[in-house]
Amino acid sequence: MDLSCTEEEEAYRARLREWLAATLPDLPERPDPLDWPARRAYDCGWQRRLYDAGYAATHWEASPTQRLVFLEETELAGAPYVGANFVGLLHAGPTIAAEGTAAQRERWLPPILRGDEVWCQGFSEPDAGSDLASLRTRAVRDGDAYVVTGQKIWTSHAEVADWCELLVRTDPDAPSKHRGITWLALPMDAPGVTVRPLRTLAGSTEFAEVFLDEVRVPVANRVGEENDGWRVTMVTLSFERGTAFVGEVVACRRLLGELARTARKNGTWDDPVLRRRLGRLSAEFQALWRIVQANVSEARATGGVPGAGGSVFKLHYSHARQELYDAAAAVLGPDALDLGRDWNLDRLSSLSYTIAAGTSQIQRDIVAERILGLPKGR
Ligand SMILES: Cc1cc2nc3c(=O)[nH]c(=O)nc-3n(C[C@H](O)[C@H](O)[C@H](O)COP(=O)(O)OP(=O)(O)OC[C@H]3O[C@@H](n4cnc5c(N)ncnc54)[C@H](O)[C@@H]3O)c2cc1C
């Protein structure tokens, strides 16, 4: 894995740094983190600026090093991260780029890059989370459309989404439950779609239940073949686990540096147990950055799709993030409350990281079976 920067990539870094310095002071004030329509407008506005400046496709088209440079520089400059269109930019878009037809890429990718359309993910159901292949949302072919009926849950950003990457069961009689699944692009404004927001413990309606009542979805919206949706889903999940959280690692490393400086100032550095905790976290995030580089590099070698190594990253990252916020609370004590709602929301949301995108238990199964080659435990 050679991820050292070429001259051209260093020039890219310098140009980007200059552009960020000129652009960020003009950004509007960040919206209330609990106001999702306002967050959508803000995040899409940022995406539009990236698009106009030629940086929008960095997550998809840039070389691995350029992508890492982009993430480092935008984070260091305090630029917004992908936000409300996390799904569109970081896993639906890359899935369509890898698996869609030319017409599908033409229809869906430019609006994601321009910040015009936001996507959500309709995979989980009340009885299909870890065991995703048990999903029951039914799609019956009727001429040039599928008629879809069922329920999704934990659909992040559904309230503000235009499109949903939707998994449906097209063949209930298939010999294996993994076989009868199809990946569809569902327009969220189609008749029969009802979104009922759910409130998290932090008070956010970041995810929702989505009810589908005889919704007609054109067959042209199918990505991949009918009943081949499980394979397409593995592509989506490999982006979701392998590369989608990469930008956050840079933010965590910056937070860790700030914590060490604060600890020295406020005296908590004198506590050897806390010092050791920060040291261990520093080593953990360095290792995570190496895993990120390895995954990005592997994705380049395998035509752009990350492999099962994404589960190693996701497993370690979600736990390290929780430990980081716990350590931050120990360093800051009651001062943490003064950091404002954004920081405290981030801390609360870190609790969900070991569940979202597949729980830690499931990631361990994947690592055991697909990477270590151990026998199946179930
Ligand atoms: C913040 C957040 C955002 C999310 N966003 C989305 C989204 O946008 N779209 C979407 O479709 N879903 C989303 N999800 C849902 C997420 O994918 C599921 O919550 C997750 O896959 C777990 O499924 P479950 O909640 O049904 O738990 P269950 O599958 O019921 O699991 C319950 C417990 O049992 C354990 N368990 C289950 N099976 C096994 C096994 N075989 N071996 C060992 N342990 C096992 C699990 O690890 C867990 O601890 C989101 C979840 C969160 C927390």
Q: Token pair 């995108």 is at which residue?
A: 357
Q: Which of 168, 184, 185, 174 is nearest to 112 (CA)?
A: 185
Tokens of 102: 């030319």
- Write the CATH number of the domain with boundaries 7-114: 1.10.540.10
Determine which of 55-69, 145-159, 188-202 has the lowest per-residue pLDDT on average.
55-69
Strands 138-142 and 181-187: unpaired
Average pLDDT in the chain: 91
Ligand 1 centroid–CA 197 distance in Å is: 18
Q: Which residues contact 286 (CB under 8 A, 6 or more apart)?
A: none
Taking the model in full, what pTM does it have? 0.92
CATH architecture of the domain formed by 119-226: Beta Barrel (2.40)
Least confident window among 69-73, 139-143, 172-176? 69-73
Q: Does the annotation count 226 as an active-site position?
A: no
CATH 1.10.540.10 domain span(s) along the chain = 7-114
pLDDT in tens, 337-348: 776 667 788 888
Active-site residue, from 99, 125, 240, 284: 240
Phi, psi angles (nearest 5°) of residue 196? -120, 105
Q: How far apart are CA 197 and CA 294, in angstroms?
A: 37
Q: What is the pLDDT of residues 135-169, one digit of tens each?
A: 999 999 999 999 999 999 999 999 999 999 999 99
Is 352's C-beta closer than 6 angstroms to any atom of ligand 1? yes
CATH 1.20.140.10 residue window(s) in the chain: 245-371
CA dihedral (289, 290, 292, 293) positive or negative: positive
Q: What stretch(es) of the chain map to CATH 2.40.110.10?
A: 119-226
Q: Is the CB of 154 under 6 A from ligand 1?
A: yes
Q: Is the domain defined by 245-371 classed in CATH 1.20.140.10?
A: yes
Give pLDDT tens digits for 216-261.
999 999 999 999 999 999 999 988 887 777 788 888 988 899 899 9
Please give the backbone phi and psi of residue 328, each rounded to the nearest 5 degrees, phi first: -60, -40
pLDDT band at residue 4 under the 50/70/90 scheme: low
Ligand 1 pocket residue status of 124, Cβ below 6 Å: yes
Nearest to 336 by CA among 321, 324, 319, 318: 324
Q: What is the spatial distance between Cα 372 and Cα 168, in angstroms, rounded to a whole number?
A: 31
- Token duo for residue 313: 């990253």
